[in-house]
Amino acid sequence: MLEDEWIYVVEEGDTVDEIAAKTGRPVGELIWANQLEYPYRLAVGQSLYVGAEGSIGAGSPLLYSFGYAYPFIDRDTLDETLPFLTDIYIFSYGFTAEGDLVSPHIEDTPVIQSARTAGVRPVMVLTPLGPDGRFNNRLITELLSNDRAVRRLVWQLMAVIEQKEYEGLDIDFEYVPAGDRERFAEFVRLCAGVFRALGIFVSAALAPKTSDDQPGLLYEGIDYRAIGEAADRVMLMTYEWGYSQGPPMAVAPIHMVRRVADYALSRIPAEKISLGIPNYGYDWPLPYERGRTRAVTLNTRQAIQLAIDHGSVIYFDELTQSPYFHYWQYGIRHEVWFEDVRSLKAKFELIREKKLTGAGFWQLMYFYRPGWLLLTRMFALAKENFI
C-alpha cells in the first residue's frame, strides 16, 4: 500500500520486485535504501522508504541535524552517518564535586578527527555521571554550590575544548534537584558567556516538560525560559515515555511529543529548539509486572527482523504514530514498540509545522538508512518554509 510519495506499507503477498513495480523505483535502489538483506523477506505492515524522483541519496540536511555517539561507535556506522549530520555530540565527559573534568573511558580523538574530515562539527558533552554510569544529582548539587569548583571545571573545559578542537559544548544534566534550579540555569549562562566569546556554542538537553511546575525529579530543576535564554541551542529529550522498566508503550508518542514542543515554544524561540528523536525501541516480555519486568533495547532493523522471523504483523498505532507487534518465544509473549519511517515522518512533520531548528538523535550507534533519507528529503522541504 503506497501511503504517500515517500512510504510504502507492505501487504500480504508483497515481494520486493512487486513493490518496485508498484512504486516505480528500481529494485536495487529499493533494497539499498531500506537495508534489505537477501533473500529480501518482508513483514506485513513493514514500512519502506520509496522516496520520490531524485530524492534517494545521502546529503547533509538543510536544517540542523545531530546526534549523540559514544567514542566506541563502530567505524562503518560512523562513516555511514556523518554525511547526514551537522554536528556529532560525543558522549561524554564527567566531573568531580571539586570541579575536575573526567574524560571518557575511551579516547574520543578518532571520532573528532572523522567528524572534522567529513565537515561535521564535534561537540563535547558534559554529564554528571557517577562511577556507576548513572546520573548523580548529588554531584550536581555539590558542584553548583561551590563557586570555586565551578570556575575550576569551566577552566578545564576550556583547555580540553581548545586542545581537541571541539566546536561546541552540550550540557546534559538530568535529574537536577529542585533546589538547584536557579544555580543550574546560571551555570548554563556562565558557560555560554565564556565559550561564546571563544566562538564555541553551548547547548542544553532539556527533560520533556509540559508545564512550569511539572512535578518529578526529572523536571523540577529545569527552567525552560531561563535555560533557553542562556543557551545558544536546546534539545527537547522527547523520548522514554516507553522505557525499559515501565509498561509496554511507544517510546516517543507523537501526541506527547507535541505537548512538550508546544510548551517549549511558549518559553523558548523556535530557532533555538531541536526535537529529540529516539533511534531505538524496546522488547517487553509479557505479562508486565511493575518492578520485575525489564525490556530489552533494540534498533529498528533488529525489531523488523524479529517480526519477519516470527511471522508477526507490524501494526501502526494512530494516536502515538508508532509501530508495534507481538510474537511468541519459548512460551512467552512479547510486545515490541520501535521507530520506523512512518513514526519518524510524524516527528519530522512536527519539526516542519512548528518551524523548529532541527532534530537531535539519541543515539547514533545504529544506522537506519531509510530514516536519514527521509529526513534529508523532508528537511529540504522544511527549509523552503524559512525562505
Q: What DSSP string runs through 199-267? A: T-EEEEEE---SSTT--STTTTT--HHHHHHHSSEEEE----SS-TTS-S--SS-HHHHHHHHHHHHTT
What pLDDT score was predicted for residue 132?
Answer: 77
Same domain, yes or no, for 132 and 185? yes
**310 lies in some domain:** no
Same domain for 271 and 375, yes or no, is yes
Residues 132 and 218 in one domain: yes
**Nearest one of 311, 335, 310, 332 to 323, comparing CA atoms:** 335
**Among 34, 56, 78, where does a domain finish?**
56
Q: Is the same domain home to 47 and 94?
A: no
Does residue 183 share a domain with residue 122? Answer: yes
- Residue ranges for the chain with pLDDT beneath 70: 52-62, 382-387
Q: Tell me whether residue 300 is in a domain.
A: no
Indicate the pairing of strand 322-329 with strand 315-317.
Answer: antiparallel
Whether residue 276 lies inside any domain: the answer is yes
| 165 belongs to the catalytic site | no
Judge if 155 and 89 occupy the same domain.
Answer: yes
Q: What is the CATH number of the domain that holds 22?
A: 3.10.350.10
Q: Are residues 167 and 262 in the same domain?
A: yes
Q: What is the dihedral of CA 140, 142, 143, 149, to 10 degrees?
A: -170
Residue 224 domain-assigned (yes or no): yes
Q: Rounded distance, CA 2 to CA 33, Å?
A: 16
Q: Indicate whether 22 and 91 sit together in one domain.
A: no
- Flag whether 327 is in a domain: no
**Are residues 51 and 68 part of one domain?**
no
- Residue 295, domain member (yes or no): no
User: 8 - beta bridge partners?
Assistant: 2, 48
| Residue 285, strand partner residues | 334
Type of residue at 68:
Y
CA distances from residue 379 to 65, 86, 344 in whole angstroms, order as listed:
9, 12, 12
Task: Indicate the residue type of 132.
Answer: D
3-state secondary structure of 127: coil
Q: What is the CATH number of the domain that holds 176?
A: 3.20.20.80
**191 part of a folded domain:** yes
Would you state the cell numbers that stand for residue 143, as one nine-digit string?
558542584
pLDDT at 130: 80
* Among candidate residues 11, 37, 56, the one where a domain is terminated: 56
**Catalytic, out of 37, 174, 240, 349:** 174
Residue 275 C-alpha cell reads as: 526535537
Amino acid 277 reads: I
What's the pTM?
Answer: 0.96
Residues 39 and 104 in one domain: no
* Pairing state between β 47-49 and 7-9: antiparallel
Order the strands of the 322-329 sheet from edge to edge. 296-298, 281-285, 332-337, 322-329, 315-317
pLDDT at 51: 86
Domain range spanning residue 4? 1-56
Looking at residue 260, its pLDDT comes to: 98
Burial environment of residue 240 by CB neighbours within 10 A (0 to 12, 13 to 18, 19 or more): middle
At 197 the pLDDT is 95
The total of structural domains in the chain comes to: 2
CB 232 within 8 A of CB 195: no
Angle ∠(276,69,162) on CA atoms, nearest 5: 105
- Cβ density class 19-41: b for 16+ within 10 Å, e for less: bbeebebeeeebbebbebeeeee
Quick one: which H or E segment has residue 283? strand 281-285
What is the reported pLDDT for 382? 63
Is residue 148 located within the same domain as residue 183? Answer: yes
Q: How far is CA 298 from the centre of its chain?
A: 14
Last residue of a domain, one of 56, 86, 103: 56
Is 303 inside a domain boundary? no
3-state secondary structure of 180: helix
Same domain? For 158 and 94 the reply is yes
